[in-house]
Amino acid sequence: MRVLGISGSLRSGSHNTALLREAGRHVGDGVEYAIYDGLRHIPPFDEDLEREFTPDPVAELKRAIGEADALLFATPEYNSSIPGHLKNAIDWVSRPFESNPLRNRPVAVVGSSTGMFGAMWAQAELRKVLAATGARVVDAELAVPRAAQHLGDDGSLADELNEQLGEVVVALLREVRPGVGAAV
């Protein structure tokens, strides 16, 4: 089984990328886990350009998603919604709708922010967008508020939140392999 993590943040010290690294500790043996790091190279979606060719960074993202059995997104919240570059990447990947690699792919969404709500609105928006692409959105979530307080200097997550993150990961893995237990 292969799980791909996608961070909605481009920042080098991103709390959401740290959250994805923590999630990797919960996947267990026999699961390949990777974090996609090419989001910044995706050009703005342009239907005219799409008709001519698929830009290499878009083709790479589609390939990476297509090779994954499940996806874990971690999103910050920008102006009460998902970052534009993350939405842009999903717009590229979702076309054409009938054959897009998100269709029927299990996905889960988590998020963190420096504010007190942990990117809850952004997560809701991202789940809505992913469902519209045909992805199978897992009914499990984690909002990490005040990320600087809950994520240690080494990126480790406070115990209670780490347990909740593990539950999200297990729920995602169960979408691919129903027999996956809580011991993952």
Tens digits of residue pLDDT in 63-78: 999 999 999 999 999 9
CATH architecture of the region 2-176: 3-Layer(aba) Sandwich (3.40)
Percent of the chain with pLDDT over 70: 96
Average pLDDT for the chain: 92
**Overall average pLDDT of the 46-66 stretch:** 94
Give Cα separations from 127 to 116, 149, 152, 159, 176 (angstroms): 20, 26, 27, 25, 18
DSSP symbol at 48: H
Would you put residue 164 in left (φ > 0), alpha (ψ -120 to 50) or beta?
alpha
Predicted local distance difference test score (pLDDT) of residue 174: 96
Burial readout 114-141 (b: 16 or more C-beta within 10 A, e: otherwise): eeeebbbbbbbbbbebbeebebbbbebb
* pLDDT tens-digit readout, 159-184: 889 999 999 999 999 999 887 764 44
**What global pTM score does this model have?**
0.93
Find the angle CA(177)-CA(180)-CA(184) to the nearest 5 degrees. 130
**Overall average pLDDT of the 1-9 stretch:** 97
The domain segmentation of the chain, as residue ranges, is 2-176
* pLDDT tens-digit readout, 102-138: 999 999 999 998 888 889 999 999 999 999 999 999 9
Give Cα separations from 22 to 28, 97, 125, 142 (angstroms): 12, 32, 23, 13
Q: How confident is the model at residue 152 (pLDDT cuts 50, 70, 90)?
A: low
Q: Are 97 and 133 in contact (CB under 8 A)?
A: yes
d(CA 81, CA 84): 9
Worst-scoring range by mean pLDDT, 1-5, 9-13, 106-110? 9-13
Predicted local distance difference test score (pLDDT) of residue 181: 63
Predicted local distance difference test score (pLDDT) of residue 13: 87
Nearest to 159 by CA among 167, 168, 150: 150
